[in-house]
Amino acid sequence: MTDLAARPDADASSPDDETTAIAGDVDTVGAPSDEGPDSPAYEWAAAEPHPRKRRLWLWIGIPVATVAIGLGAASTVLIAPGTSIAGVPVGGLTPGAAAEVVGQRLAETTVVLTGTGGDAELTGAELGVSVDAEALVDSAFAASPAWNLGAWFAEPVDAPVAIDTAVAVAALRAAVPSMYVDPTDATIAFDPATATYVVTPAIEGAGVDVDAVHAAVAEAFAAGDATIDLAATTAPVEPVGSTFVADAQAVILNRMLDTAGFYVGAERTVPIDRATLAAWLTVEPADRGTFEVSADPAAIQPVVDGLAAAVNRAPVDSTTIVNASGKTLSTPTEGVVGRTLESTDGIANSYAEQLATGNAVYALPTAEVPFNTTTLARLLEVDLSEQRLYLKENGVVVDSWLISSGKGNTPTFTGHYTINSKATVQTMNGYDRDAQGNITGTYSTPNVKWPMYFNGGQAFHGVYWHSNYGNRMSHGCVGMPEWRAQQIYNWSPYGTDVWIHS
């Protein structure tokens, strides 16, 4: 008979099958039927529900996982434990917090200066020391993040400490003024006795050795010490205005004195006196030990006002002596170009600006005035029939006088010649001849002045042994008073044309 109250295979059902068996028409082998009024009524007993599986591991694991996740996330933004920058521990801090700690620790590091007649204490902040905390921390974090267990307790990170010397000197001078002696800057001044700029050398001062203080702060910071004692020592304090710089500036100024002036081309047309230029200039100390040079335009202006009179000049015309063919024989007067100053407007201001740059050579704006050239074709013409010499230029007679030419037995030969030899004085020798041209003797005449030869032994010359001019008197030369001979000697260059005719 089937047990309807408890099915033997009840436990074999699905654990999640919580449905209750429902009474109704069930076809069961051997089961009662509803035939007949006396047939007993049967009903399925309700099945016991299956118990739920307990998931305790879920309820315990959630908070544990949360903690683990939190620690993992934190390890990505923290510096590894045991990390230090110089003497400052920064492990377990964020980079931002670590940078603040490093900066604060350095600012509070204190140097105690001993041996100053009363110890003086100065903090890193007062001395102007600093480190690049952010860069150091970023570097430390990159090398030693908290999540990297192998990077825990790494070697300390070195921290180079910088110092602002100007801030440190100001703080030290205020703390121990007795240890400071001010330096003296070099100066430059014009010396009237030598008319040059001379330098008074700089003198160095003294003060607390800033390098030693810097090193002490760095040492204390690296060791993690809040305070360090330092025996105060002095070091030289260089002047801002050094002798070297002053000497270099003096060289420039003295070169200006040597060259000062207003120039036309390479010509220093209007020189400036050394003392005058020095009076125009002001030399003062400037930034970083240099010197500033300035000039006063108002002091320069009176010289500018007088430039035209000194610069302007008329041209000098040229005179050229030529022969009949146009060949130049000499230039008695060289031509010189004239010039005129175009304008003096603004020169005083421009020169002042130029002097400030160290250049004392001022190029004046001038215009050239060309010269004219006169060409003279000179001729010494002798008319034997008139016994007269004519001086001609370009065919025009410019002077004339009587001469004495050769006698009949020693005539002056006609023809066209040129001056080929000259002397200021000499002894003239020759032959005496008869009417037929035969040599009858010799002569020698000393101290003949201004001879100029044109045809062999025939010459123009001065005569001191007679004054019978206008008559034939010579052995073939053309004689004249000595002063006239000197006149044509100076008037006639080599190659001057000579024309002898009757």
Indicate whether 22 belongs to any domain. Answer: no
> Which has the closest alpha carbon to 355: 277, 298, 410, 407?
277
β-strand 196-200 against 84-85: which pairing, if any? unpaired
Question: Per-residue confidence at 75, pLDDT binned at 50, 70, 90?
Answer: low
Crossing angle (nearest 10°) for helices 133-143 and 95-108: 130
CATH number at residue 340: 3.10.20
Looking at the structure, tell me whether residues 93 and 200 fall in a common domain.
yes
pLDDT in tens, 390-402: 999 999 999 999 9
Would you call 307 helix, strand, or coil by DSSP? helix
Looking at the structure, tell me whether residues 492 and 394 fall in a common domain.
yes
Last residue in a domain, options 313, 337, 369:
369
Indicate whether 472 belongs to any domain. Answer: yes
How far from chain centre, in Å, is Cα 345?
30
* Total structural domains within the chain: 3
Per-residue pLDDT for 499 more than 80?
yes
Last residue in a domain, options 239, 270, 290:
239
What mean pLDDT is predicted for residues 92-100?
91
Looking at the structure, tell me whether residues 437 and 342 fall in a common domain.
no
Measure the CA–CA gap between 96 and 102, rounded to whole angstroms: 10
Indicate whether 2 belongs to any domain. Answer: no
Question: Per-residue confidence at 77, pLDDT binned at 50, 70, 90?
Answer: confident
Q: How many helices (H) and strands (E) does the chain have?
A: 12, 31
CATH number at residue 468: 2.40.440.10
Whole-prediction pTM = 0.56
Indicate whether 23 belongs to any domain. Answer: no
Tokens of 12: 């074999």
Looking at the structure, tell me whether residues 219 and 98 fall in a common domain.
yes
Indicate whether 180 belongs to any domain. Answer: yes
Looking at the structure, tell me whether residues 96 and 181 fall in a common domain.
yes
Measure the CA–CA gap between 405 and 472, rounded to whole angstroms: 5
Burial of 190 (0-12, 13-18, 19+ CB in 10 A): buried
pLDDT in tens, 177-219: 999 999 999 999 999 999 999 999 999 999 999 999 999 999 9
90 and 79 Cβ atoms separated by less than 8 Å: yes
| Contacts (Cβ under 8 Å, ≥6 apart) of 435 | 408, 409
Measure the CA–CA gap between 97 and 245, rounded to whole angstroms: 49
What mean pLDDT is predicted for residues 325-351?
96
Question: Per-residue confidence at 74, pLDDT binned at 50, 70, 90?
Answer: low
Looking at the structure, tell me whether residues 180 and 292 fall in a common domain.
no
143 and 82 Cβ atoms separated by less than 8 Å: no
pLDDT in tens, 306-331: 999 999 999 999 999 999 999 999 99
Indicate whether 30 belongs to any domain. Answer: no
Enclosing domain of residue 276 = 245-369
Burial of 32 (0-12, 13-18, 19+ CB in 10 A): middle
Question: How many Cα atoms occupy the beta-carbon half-sphere of 60 within 13 Å?
Answer: 4
Would you call 215 helix, strand, or coil by DSSP? helix
Looking at the structure, tell me whether residues 233 and 254 fall in a common domain.
no
Looking at the structure, tell me whether residues 278 and 390 fall in a common domain.
no
Looking at the structure, tell me whether residues 158 and 258 fall in a common domain.
no
Indicate whether 483 belongs to any domain. Answer: yes
Residue 84: CB atoms within 10 A of its CB come to 21
Last residue in a domain, options 215, 239, 263:
239
Looking at the structure, tell me whether residues 275 and 362 fall in a common domain.
yes
> Which has the closest alpha carbon to 406: 471, 457, 454?
471
Question: How many Cα atoms occupy the beta-carbon half-sphere of 482 within 13 Å?
Answer: 9
Looking at the structure, tell me whether residues 429 and 327 fall in a common domain.
no
Looking at the structure, tell me whether residues 95 and 224 fall in a common domain.
yes
Indicate whether 4 belongs to any domain. Answer: no
